[in-house]
């Protein structure tokens, strides 16, 4: 996914809260320590972050409360100004845009969903979803038709005439998602959209989200502090600590090769078999004697658990989506991983 055309790129991004933070950044050669900042009464909510997000990619920003997730995402959409560093959206430096250009960029390309649903209480569900289209000046019948389509997409058909107060929290969040989708955002920012939901509904929403993601091709930046949620949804995960990105990588690499001790701690309780795919364990097939029915490269070890446990082959061929054998799976290693042994 990294090779995809970049949609958002940020370089050496800093967001420092406090009095005249630019002064300390220039005085300390743009790289003050957390301690130096603290002594100056400043907080670095985002510290020297460089990231590239490819078209169609879903990047999940993950970290504990206060690690800087929301601030980073607000900087990427320039809801807040950065202290230093550059943000390029589709080749344009958004730091250099005028307010009017920014508003236009947000209206035309960006969608945002926040934890608080922000629905208009005196409008029905369908009118809430149609609201951003009204802002764009679309006629009523076109916008209602589009809103109905979005409501069907998020599983709320039949509720269009309800008022927000007549819906559950999960349903209200779906209305928020439908409203944001109505304008077909090419870039979609979601800040903990499911955190207000109870675990069962949350999982349902994640499934729904994965279904939507399969149908749409927009670029998504999704914030969560729930690692399981990140693992389920992400193409790549950026793990933040004290404003810095500790590692930005695929879920598989985060779990199998944590870059820092902090990331390792985060991943230590994760069931690796749910994340690691056959392709990641495949070794060159030559000389292994792997033959017979292959397993699919994209399947996780959990998906393959039954086969891995019951098969008698020492090495099992691994095939890509076209059916070409790309390597061999060492069954003993796969069993060890299934049983939670270190990789
Ligand atoms: N407007 C502000 N003024 C001063 N400090 C701020 C401001 N906004 C955020 N901060 C500080 O920046 C740091 C990062 O906050 P941020 O909200 O980005 O974290 P987060 O990871 O999104 O947290 P949460 O998961 O709790 O939402 C925190 O220490 C916070 O107190």
**pLDDT per residue over 82-108, tens digit each?**
988 999 999 999 989 999 999 888 888
Say how many Å lie between the CA of residue 39 and the centre of ligand 1: 18
Ligand 1, atom 31, lies closest to the CA of: 66
Query: Start-end ranges of CATH 3.40.50.300 in the chain?
Result: 6-10+52-271
Confidence of residue 122 (pLDDT cuts 50, 70, 90): very high
Which residue puts its alpha carbon closest to atom 26 of ligand 1? 65
Centre of ligand 1 to C-alpha 43, Å, is: 9
Residues enclosing ligand 1, CB less than 6 A?
17, 43, 45, 63, 65-71, 225
- Mean pLDDT over 71-90 rounds to 92
Look at residue 160 and tell me whether its pLDDT is greater than 60.
Answer: yes
Cβ-proximal residues to 84 (8 Å cutoff; 6+ apart), any chain? 12, 13, 14, 22, 25, 30
| Protein residue whose Cα sits closest to atom 28 of ligand 1 | 66
pLDDT bin (cut points 50, 70, 90) of residue 28 is: low
Distance between first and last Cα of the chain: 25
Question: How close is the Cα of 81 to the center of ligand 1, in Å?
Answer: 14
Question: Taking all residues of the chain, what is their mean pLDDT, rounded to a whole number?
Answer: 88
> β-strands 219-224, 58-63: how paired?
parallel
Query: Nearest C-alpha to atom 24 of ligand 1 is from which residue?
Result: 65
> 110 alpha carbon to ligand 1 midpoint, in Å?
22
The span from the CA of 55 to the CA of 186, in Å, is 9
Segment 249-257 long-range contacts (CB within 8 Å, at least 24 positions apart): 251/275, 252/276, 252/277, 252/280, 255/231, 256/280, 256/343
- pLDDT, position 202: 80
Predicted confidence (pLDDT) at residue 2 exceeds the cutoff of 60: no
Q: How far is the centre of ligand 1, averaged over its atoms, from the C-alpha of 69 (Å)?
A: 8
CB 329 within 8 A of CB 295: yes
- Rounded-to-10 torsion of CA 112, 275, 155, 149: 60
Would you call 184 helix, strand, or coil by DSSP? coil
- Closest by CA to 196, choosing from 163, 170, 219, 235, is 170
Among the listed residues 163, 154, 165, the one whose alpha carbon sits nearest the alpha carbon of residue 193: 154
CA-nearest residue for atom 1, ligand 1, is 17
The CATH architecture that domain 6-10+52-271 belongs to is 3-Layer(aba) Sandwich (3.40)
Among 25-39, 115-129, 267-281, which stretch is predicted with the lowest mean pLDDT? 25-39
For residue 204, how many other CB atoms are within 10 A of its CB?
15
Output the pTM of the full model.
0.84
Average pLDDT over residues 300-329: 92
User: By the 8 A CB rule, do 123 and 131 touch?
Assistant: yes
Tell me the pLDDT tens digit for each residue of 186-219. 999 999 888 777 787 788 878 878 887 887 788 9
Going from the Cα of 66 to the center of ligand 1, the distance in angstroms, rounded, reads 5
Output the residue whose Cα is nearest ligand 1's atom 8. Answer: 71
Q: What is the C-alpha separation between 190 and 224, in angstroms, rounded?
A: 9
Distant-in-sequence, close-in-space partners of 271: CB < 8 Å, separation ≥ 6: 302, 340
Which residues in the chain are classed under CATH 3.10.580.10?
Answer: 273-338
Ligand 1 atom having least distance to the Cα of 74: 18
CA of 163 to the centre of ligand 1 (A): 33
Q: Calculate how far, in angstroms, residue 240's C-alpha sits from the geometric centre of ligand 1.
A: 12
Q: What are phi and psi of 81, to 5 degrees?
A: -80, 145
In percent, the amount of the chain with pLDDT more than 90 equals: 51
Domain spanning 273-338: CATH 3.10.580.10: yes
- Banded model confidence at residue 34, pLDDT cuts 50, 70, 90: confident
Indicate which residue's Cα is closest to atom 4 of ligand 1. 17
Q: What is the pLDDT of residue 22?
A: 73
Query: Which of 228-232, 269-273, 281-285 has the lowest average pLDDT?
Result: 269-273
Return the residue whose CA atom lies nearest to atom 5 of ligand 1: 17
How far, in Å, CA of 175 to CA of 208, rounded? Answer: 13
Q: Which of 13, 17, 192, 244 to mutate to test the pocket of ligand 1 (most atoms within 8 A of CB)?
A: 17
């Amino acid at each position: 996914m990294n090779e995809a055309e970049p949609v958002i790129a940020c370089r050496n991004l800093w967001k420092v809260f406090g009095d005249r933070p630019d002064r300390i950044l220039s005085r300390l050669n743009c790289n003050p320590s957390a301690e130096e900042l603290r002594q100056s009464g400043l907080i670095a909510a985002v510290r020297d972050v460089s990231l590239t997000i490819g078209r169609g990619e879903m990047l999940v920003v993950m970290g504990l409360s206060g690690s800087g997730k929301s601030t980073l995402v607000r900087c990427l959409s320039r809801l807040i100004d950065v202290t230093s560093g550059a943000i390029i959206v589709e080749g344009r430096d958004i730091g250099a845009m005028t307010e009017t250009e920014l508003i236009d960029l947000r209206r035309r390309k960006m969608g945002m969903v926040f934890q608080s649903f922000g629905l208009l209480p005196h409008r029905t569900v369908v009118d809430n979803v149609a609201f951003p289209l009204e802002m764009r000046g679309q006629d009523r019948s076109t916008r209602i038709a589009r809103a109905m389509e979005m409501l069907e997409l998020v599983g709320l058909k039949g509720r269009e005439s309800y008022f927000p107060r007549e819906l559950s929290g999960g349903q209200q969040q779906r209305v928020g998602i439908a409203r944001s989708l109505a304008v077909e955002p090419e870039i979609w920012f979601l800040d903990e959209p499911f955190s207000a939901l109870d675990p069962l509904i949350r999982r349902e929403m994640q499934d729904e989200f994965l279904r939507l993601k399969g149908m749409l091709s927009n670029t998504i930046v999704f914030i969560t502090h729930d690692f399981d949620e990140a693992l389920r949804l992400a193409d790549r995960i950026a793990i933040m600590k004290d404003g810095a990105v500790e590692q930005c990588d695929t879920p598989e690499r985060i779990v199998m090769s944590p870059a820092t001790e902090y990331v390792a701690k985060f991943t230590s309780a994760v069931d690796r078999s749910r994340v690691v795919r056959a392709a990641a364990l495949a070794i060159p097939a030559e000389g292994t004697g792997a033959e017979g029915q292959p397993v699919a490269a994209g399947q996780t070890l959990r998906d393959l658990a039954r086969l891995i446990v019951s098969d008698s082959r020492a090495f099992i061929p691994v095939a890509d989506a076209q059916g070409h054998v790309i390597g061999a799976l060492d069954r003993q290693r796969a069993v060890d991983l299934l049983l939670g042994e270190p990789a």
